[in-house]
Each structure stands twice: as structure tokens, then as C-alpha cells.
Structure 1
Amino acid sequence: MQSGKINSKWLAAGAAIALLALLAWAMAPRPELVEVAAVQVGPFESSIEEDGKTRVLDRYVVSAPLAGRWLRPSLREGDAVAAGDLLGQILPAAAPLLDERSSAELRARVDAADAAQRAALSRLAVAKVGLEQARRTLLRSEQLSRQGFVGEAKLEGDQLAMRAATEEQAAAAAEAQLAQFGLVQARAALGLFSGGGGRAFDLRSPVAGLVLRLHQASEAVLALGTPLLEIGDTAKLEVVAELLSADALLARPGSKALIERWGGPQALTGKVSRVEPGAFTKVSALGVEEQRVRVIVELTSPLAGRERLGDGYRVALKIITRSLPEALQVPVSAVFPLPGGGPEQRAVFAVEGGRARLTEVELEARNGRVAWLRKGPAVGSVVINYPPPAVKDGARVQKRSP
């Protein structure tokens, strides 16, 4: 009987202890479920993204070389023309011999075209000298680079200078050709005017390309110098984007660029060729005044695959401002301002032994996906991604199941 009472007491005590243990377990704080990511080394790129539009690199506006009646042209926008092809005809105004003012204007145009040709030839000669100098400088740099006396940055700069000099000579040659054509046209107009006949003047194309704009699609009476049409080669395109002035400081000439959402299956490549020095004020869609700067990007992708991309097309431009093949990085959502720290101090929660450890990091740069750390947790460590407000330094955490 006594033994039965003792056993009952032990059973009651055991039940009470088990109940207390169950209550303690139920009321104990649970580990916070968190999403984690690994600290790793990989390529990093930061970029500026903005909408842009294409623009023909060399655009030629053909104007009326004399006053008269413009006959209805057979050309339409998009038609291809070769250098010297007939663009249209102009019947000189009536009684041209009695119009001394028009005659003086035509003579002045001949003199101006002659001066423009001489200036273009001089620029071409200067461009040839610059190209020869750049070629010799690059040759010396390549020889010294092979011997280890010239750094990679100097060699790359000389290569870019050589390419710029080549483009400068090509542009000067095209300008000289155009000036020669302008002189021929001006002399022909003056000769026709002086002849006094009713013969039509043949207006011919100065360059090969496509008709981009047709300003006078119907017959009309024109004054001297009236724009008639625009011609350009759509194989030579550039992209113009209007960046915020703060972003334009990061878009340096030579920076790599990607042209996306242009209508093709793959992004096109390019490089920043020029950043205009002057900014202008533009009102955004929200009514905010912004200072914008035009940035010009040269297309470097081959023509094959983008033949149908024309003048004035809208594209999405991404300019690479910083790039590193190997950088210590974490998801950008894992980085937050250091509690109680300065405005530039950042931190992450590293997971060690099932607990969150507040760890200060040094942020070098970030993009929309990852953050590049100068200093941070070791490679392979685990950090908390999107840390919830309940997570504090030393808090117990547990990885959330996918």
C-alpha cells in the first residue's frame, strides 16, 4: 500500500516535470527564418541605363543651288542613291539675266564653295599628318611594350589615338569630296543662270546613301538655298542619349556600351565617343527640371544583323562605368546602413553557428543585383538576404526552406 502511494507521487512529479518542459519548449523563442546567400568572387559591372535614339553619323542636306521651279521628284524616302545620281530638276526663274541680285548671289556661292574646298583640302592634309604621327607613336609604343618599358595603359591610349586619327582622316576626305561637289554645283548653277536659256538644272547626289527626308515632295517655286532633301548612310549610325549631368560625369569617352531593345535578338555593342561639354535644362514627365547632357555612342557591332536599323529609332542604352573580372560581392539586398554609424558606413548580417552576427563592410560600388565589397566576410561565408526587422546581432536564425 505504501509502495503504491510512492509510485503515484513519482508519476505525478514526472508528469509535472514533463509539463514544465513542454511549456518551456513552447514558450522558448524560435529561430527567425531567413533567406541566405553566399559571399563569392565573380565579375562585377556597374552601368548607367537611359533611353536613346539612333542618328546617322554623316547627314547631308541638299539645298536648291538657284532660285526657280522645283519639278516633282521621282524619289521617295528610303530610296537608295549613288554619288552623282539625279535627285531632281530645277527650272531657273524667268528672265534671270535681268536679276543682278541673283547673279551676285550665285557668284558669291561659287566663291564660298571655292574657299570651302581649299579649307577642306587643308584639313585633309592636316589629318594625314596627324595619322602619320599617330602611326609612328603607336609603332614606338608597341616596340617598347614588348621590351617592358611601356605600360598597358599607354599602349591602349596610343591605339585609341591611332583609331581616332584614322577616323579623322576619313571624315576630312569625305568633307573634301563634298566641298568639291559643292563647287561643281555652284559653277554649274552660275553657268546656267548666265546662259539665260530655259534649260532645266540637274541636281545630283553628293554622296551615296538613302533618302532620309524629302522636304519638297511636290512641284514648287523655290528660293535660293531652300532645303530639298536629306541623304545619309544608315550603315554608319551613332546613338544619342540625354543623361543626367551627374551620370554623364561617369560616362567617359571609350567606355563600353550595350544597345538593347532595338528590335533585334541580341544586344549591339558600342563605345562612348563623345560627351558634350554643355548641359541643358529638360523638364521630366513629373514636371521636375533636370540638367541633361548629350552623350554620343559609336556602334561597333558589324552591320550584318542590324541592316534595318535606321535613323531616329528608339533604343535602350546601357553604358558600363566600372568593370572588374573578379570582385568580392554579395547580393545588394543584403547590405544596409550600419546602425549608429556614419552616412557611408554599411553592414551585413553574417550567419555563424546559427546566429546572426552584425558585420561592418566597406562598399566599393553596387549595381541593381550585387554589391562590390572592398572589405567584408570571407569567401564562402553566408549572409542574410533581405534581413527582417526582427533580426538583431546575436539572434538565432534558420535558413528558410526553398
Structure 2
Amino acid sequence: MTKFRMALYAAAGLAAIAALGWAFAPQPVEVETVTVERGHFEHAIEEDGRTRLRDRYMVSAPVMAHLSRMTLREGDRVKAGDTVAVLTPVMPSLFDERSRREVAARARAAQAAVSGADARVERARVAQDEARLEHQRTDKLARDGFVSMSRLDSVRLALDGTGRELQAAQAAREVAVHERELAQASVQAPRNGGSTGQPLFVRAPLSGVVLRVPLRSEATVNAGAALMDIGDPMQMEVVAELLTTDAVNAKPGTPASIERWGGAPLEGRVRLVEPSAFTKVSALGIEEQRVNVLVDILTPPAAWLPVGDGFRVTVRVITISADDAVLVPVGALFPRGNGGMAVYVLDGSHARLQPVEITARNSNVGWVRSGLSQGQRVLVYPPPGVADGSRVRVRS
């Protein structure tokens, strides 16, 4: 009986020791895993953008004129050569009593100047006739030898001088006549209900759609005033303001995707990266150097007809694209001390540290160059307690 009790006590002691060992032994860490797969890898630069017409024409007034009320509205289609606006010469300014008297007095003064110019012309003509008679008498006396040749030359020069004076007087009279006409035109009232000339028809430079009509009612406009904007909505492009550090990878010809416009993604291609950048302050108050990148829409217009000028879109410039790439979630990657990357590979019930080389990565997955193969299971977001060789248990 004593031996039996001793065996019983020994078994109880061993069970207690085993229970204590199990209680204080490290427990497996619960982890989540994912299988390494092969698939399509894509790295893109994503940025907000806006649509705009490639060619936008602003129709303006060529001269200062009176604009008739606009009949065209935004969205109306026009053809090249169609009349889009009618301009008529502006009416003369209205005169108060003082201004009217001043203009009338100026007209009378101009009339008096013409009369004075007529008198000066007549006086110059009389002087010329007198010089001509003196020249005839002196020429006869010179032939008879009664006056010297020098006297004849002086008389001839005097006759030429009177001719020049007559021409000057006639020119002065022409100036006075034109000034009189100008003064008389100032006092004439407008005729035909205020119209002072023929209307000028402004025509569309191309076939397209009216985009903006800044002034609809009739008004007097200055030369160069904008009347409307016209463009072809089928010639659309997208402009995105990319950081200069990203724009160096968005070379012309790089494929792009235009998304979040209200429909299916559209195919695009980078056409131009503008050569000059600009400074823009972000929402956080940080100064950023950005540059405009122009993207052409390659999808047929029938797929994006609802898109208009100035619509907001999202542009994804695809800088790297590869098929049949080994893909691992970015949540499984973590940096190593030597500057490389590593993952934890599930080996039965243990986690094994595995260095990997990454070709490129995006916001979701990384493209593995070496270190992993398809079908291996890796830990995603490994807990801090996981180390090389740790026991793990996959969370269901």
C-alpha cells in the first residue's frame, strides 16, 4: 500500500510540474496570414485634376460700340461664320446748356476762320497779279536796255514768292474748312433714333459650343471687351498639378487613367509636362513646388459626353506596369537594420524571418524581385511579440 501511495504522489507531482510548465511556457502568438500570389502590378501617381478645352476662343469687341442684346446662351451650338453679336456705333455724348453753347461758339469761330482764310487767299492772289505785271514791265525794259539784268532777276524771284504765298494761303483755307466741318458735326443731332452708322456683325471663329456669355443685356462696350467664349467640347484635355518630384517620372507618352468623374475610368496619355513650375500652398500651409501635366483623353468622346469644361477628376499617371509579378501585401513588409526589407514566412507553427528584395511598391502591394515565391504564406501586420522562430497560431 505504501508503494502505491508513493506512486500516486509521484504522478500527482509530475502532473503539477507539467501544469506549471504549461502555464508558464510561451503561448503561440495569434497572427494573420496571406498567400503570396502572382498578378498584375501597377504603380501610379495619383492627383486631382480638372478638364479643360484644348482650344478656347474668346470673342471680343474690335472697337468701342453699342452691343445689342445677346440672343445666344451657354450651351448653344454655333457654326464658323455665324453672327454671334451685333455692334452699332455709339451715340454722341449728350450736351448740357453750357456745352451746347461752347460747341455752337466753336462752330461760329470755325466759320469766321474760313472767311479769314478766304480773304488771305484773295490778298495773295492780288499780290501775285501785281508781281506778274511788274515782271512783264521789267522784262520789256530789260530787253530795251533801260534796266539791268539783276533788277529783272529780283522781279522774277518776287513773282515766284507770291506764288508760294498763294499756295500757303490756299492750304490754310483747306485746314479752316475741315475744322469748320468738324465743329458743325459736333452740333448735329443723331438721326434715325440714335443710330449713327451701319451695324458691325461679329462672327464665330469656329464651330463649337458657347461656353460663357458674360454680358447678356445691351450695353456700350469698350474695344477688347469679352463678348463670349466658344470652344469645341470634343477637344478635351485634363490638367493635373503634380509635385515636381513626381512629375519627373510622368514623361510624355506615359499612360494614364482618368477616374472619379462620375463614370467608368477613361484611358489617357501624358502629352506635355509644362517646363515651368510654380509654388502652391497646401491645405496644411506647406509650400509645394508643382507643375501642370497635360493628359489627352484617348477614350472615344461618346463615353464621356457628360463631362464639360472645368470638371473635377482624378488622374492616375501609371509609371510602372508589369504582368505575372510576385505580389506581397505592404502590410507584410517591414524594414531591416541594413536598409533592406523583410517578411515573416509561416513555417508550420513558427514564424521565420525572410529577407526580400522589392522592385517597386504601391499603396497595396509590393513587387518582389527575390526572396519569396508563389504559394508561400506570410504574416500580415505581425504583432510586436513575433520574432524569428516564434510560435504562432493563425487567427481564424
Query: Do both share a fold (TM > 0.5)?
Result: yes
Give the structure 2 partner of residue 356 of structure 1: 351
What are the ranges of 5 or more consecutive residues in structure 2 without an aligned counterpart? 93-194
Bigger Cα displacement from structure 2, 15-24 vs 385-394: 15-24
Q: Which has the larger radius of gyration?
A: 2
- Equivalent positions of 1:24-35 (< 5 A) are 24-35=21-32
How far apart in 1 are the matches of 2:372 and 2:392?
18
- Give 1:258 deviation, angstroms: 1.3
User: Is the 2:42–2:318 Cα contact (8 Å) retained in structure 1?
Assistant: yes
Give the structure 2 partner of residue 69 of structure 1: 66
Letter in 2 for 1:207: L
**Over residues 283-325 of structure 1, what are the superposed CA-to-partner deviations in whole Å (9 max), with x where a residue is unaligned?**
1111110000100010111112321210001111111111001
Give the structure 2 partner of residue 382 of structure 1: 377
How far apart in 1 are the matches of 2:86 and 2:342?
74
Letter in 2 for 1:34: V
Alignment equivalent of 1:45, drawn from 42, 46, 51: 42
Give the structure 2 partner of residue 280 of structure 1: 278
How far apart in 1 are the matches of 2:18 and 2:90?
111
How far apart in 2 are the matches of 1:378 and 1:355?
18
How far apart in 2 are the matches of 1:220 and 1:376?
76
- Give 1:380 deviation, angstroms: 1.4
- Give 1:25 deviation, angstroms: 1.6
How far apart in 2 are the matches of 1:388 and 1:277?
47
**Over residues 255-308 of structure 1, what are the superposed CA-to-partner deviations in whole Å (9 max), with x where a residue is unaligned?**
1111111122x1111111111111100011111100001000101111123212
How far apart in 2 are the matches of 1:79 and 1:308?
15
- Equivalent positions of 1:296-315 (< 5 A) are 296-315=294-313
How far apart in 2 are the matches of 1:67 and 1:273?
40
**1:80 corresponds to 2:70:** no
- Equivalent positions of 1:2-401 (< 5 A) are 4-93=1-90, 198-264=197-263, 266-338=264-336, 340-342=337-339, 345-401=340-396
Letter in 2 for 1:84: G
How far apart in 2 are the matches of 1:299 and 1:92?
45
User: Is the 2:91–2:196 Cα contact (8 Å) retained in structure 1?
Assistant: no
How far apart in 1 are the matches of 2:81 and 2:360?
54
Letter in 1 for 2:84: L
- Give 1:93 deviation, angstroms: 3.6
User: Is the 2:90–2:196 Cα contact (8 Å) retained in structure 1?
Assistant: no
How far apart in 2 are the matches of 1:306 and 1:291?
31
What are the ranges of 5 or more consecutive residues in structure 1 without an aligned counterpart? 96-195
Number of residue pairs the alignment of both structures matches: 294
How far apart in 2 are the matches of 1:269 and 1:217?
38
- Give 1:378 deviation, angstroms: 2.3
**Over residues 335-366 of structure 1, what are the superposed CA-to-partner deviations in whole Å (9 max), with x where a residue is unaligned?**
1111x213xx1111112232212111111111
How far apart in 2 are the matches of 1:400 and 1:250?
41
Task: Provide the TM-score with structure 2 as the length reference.
Answer: 0.72
Give the structure 2 partner of residue 125 of structure 1: none
Give the structure 2 partner of residue 180 of structure 1: none
Give the structure 1 partner of residue 187 of structure 2: none
**Over aligned residues, Cα RMSD in angstroms?**
1.6
How far apart in 1 are the matches of 2:321 and 2:303?
27
